[in-house]
Structure 1
Amino acid sequence: MTTVRAGDVDYDAHGHGYAVQRRTDPRIAARVHAAIGEGRSLINVGAGAGSYEPDDRYVVAVEPSAVMRAQRPAHRVPALDAAAERLPFDDGAFDAALASITVHQWADPDRGLSELRRVTRGPVVVLTFDGDALDLIWLAEYVPELIAAERRRFGHLRGQPEFRGSLRLVVGLP
């Protein structure tokens, strides 16, 4: 069982029905998969239902919420109970990493980002919200606590020392 405190959004309390509502956007999926590159192994941290996991790679999914782990579709690998801040893998164990709309759930985003970098040999793809544009998206009126959490935590990627030199591209998505 994960002992790291969850972030401001408690998916064990609010995550029921998430997999039914959260659908993969093919435009975003194409960008995410291109950013992952050619690596054959991927760790997906804060994996949820696995909306943006590629089907043609070896995937290890990590998800601290039991409610979210239970909602993973049958065609996806089961998710391990672990947190971004303490990934139970060796240094450089994966070709690529993915963290999709999850940083708001991490108790310590800086440590989580450092862990992603530690366990990954290649690209670390972080899909998150632009803190300056959060009020403009349709989701704002439905989950204001998520928007508030993301706004507080946005900026860690650019400011985090482990990532300053490796941040390659910030792209606006539909």
Structure 2
Amino acid sequence: MATYNTLGPTYARTRRPDPRIAARIRAALGDAADVVDVGAGTGSYEPPGTVLAVEPSRVMIDQRPPHSAPAVRAVAERLPVRDGAVDAAMAVLTVHHWTDLAAGVRELRRIARRRVVVLTWDQRVFRERWWLVRDYLPEAAAFDDARAVDVDRLADLLGGARQETVPVPYDCTDGFAAAYWRRPHAYLDPQVRAGISLLAQTGEEVNGPGLARLADDLATGRWHDRYGELLALDAADFGYRLLVADL
């Protein structure tokens, strides 16, 4: 994917798997003996039973750690995997990048014998609760409105998947969009923003004024006056959802 050939070089540094989220994904996969990871990126949440990673970007594949599962360059809509090849297929924070959601979901269901697990987010909750896009970067929120996947539609395409809320820990080690909700200074770091596709794709010209307001509010204490109650929370719901479909 051209997007991640451009945006992906920092992922191995800023997108380290969070063990609490990893535990949720592995619990959702259950006792699956073999797994294909679709839209795998650098392989952050792959369980030991992963037999193949599917990822379109060479930049992302090149950042996969040694001894990780073999990776093939391909897209979700056309998986180079035979029917019913594995117990489970997984897709972590990737479906919003697919060009044809329905086709990608059909492929997940085609290759998995028992279960499909997808981590994504509910844009309605995300927009309402994540203070950065709501109050500082409305242009970025509008960009996400256009690409976010409706979780109810996704659940239906998966054949009636159950939805599980995935709270974001205050010290989340995986630097996805809302990971720094209790560490606002992090969003002023260009390397952190480079690892968040939402901010990297909307760009500095669009986000600059909002980030300048954030910097000023942090310097003057206004941010703490407005959002100080967040500092008492260990985890919070910003719309991230785990969808689990039994086949």
The two structures share one fold, judged by TM-score above 0.5:
yes
Q: Does 1:131 align with 2:119?
A: no
Offset of 1:26 from its aligned partner?
1.0
Q: Pick the structure with greater CA Rg.
A: 2
Report the CA distance shift for 1:146/1:89 in structure 2 as closer, same or farther (over 3 A). Answer: farther
Q: 2:46 matched to 1:22?
A: no
| 2:37/2:91 contact within 8 Å kept | yes
Q: Residue 37 of structure 2 aligns to a residue in which SS? A: strand
Gaps of 5+ in 2: 169-247
Within 2, Cα distance between the matches of 1:67 and 1:150? 27
Greater percentage in helix: 2
8 Å CA contact 1:109–1:153 kept in 2: the answer is: no
Correspondent of 1:73 among 35, 41, 65: 65
Q: 1:3 is matched with which residue?
A: none
Q: How many residues align?
A: 163
Q: Tell me the CA shift for residue 66 of structure 1.
A: 0.9
Q: Is the 2:81–2:111 Cα contact (8 Å) retained in structure 1?
A: yes
Change (3 A) 1:94 1:147: farther
Q: CA RMSD in A?
A: 2.5
- SS at the partner of 1:31? helix
Helix, strand or coil at the partner of 1:170: strand
**Does structure 1 residue 148 correspond to structure 2 residue 140?**
no
Native 8 Å contact 2:36 2:51 kept in 1 = yes
- CA gap of 1:106–1:30, structure 2 versus 1, over 3 A, is same
Q: How does 1:16-55 map to 2 (within 5 A)?
A: 16-55=9-48
1:173 lines up with 2:162 in the alignment: no
Residue 138 of structure 1: CA displacement?
A: 7.8
Contact residue 38 and residue 53 of structure 2 kept, 8 A: yes
Distance, in Å, in 2 between the alignment partners of 1:129 and 1:89 is 27
Identity %: 45
**TM-score where L is the length of structure 1:** 0.82
Separation of aligned partners in 2, 1:85 and 1:75: 26
**Which structure dedicates a bigger proportion of its chain to strand?**
2
TM-score normalised by structure 2 residue count? 0.59
CA contact (8 A) 1:103 1:150 kept: no
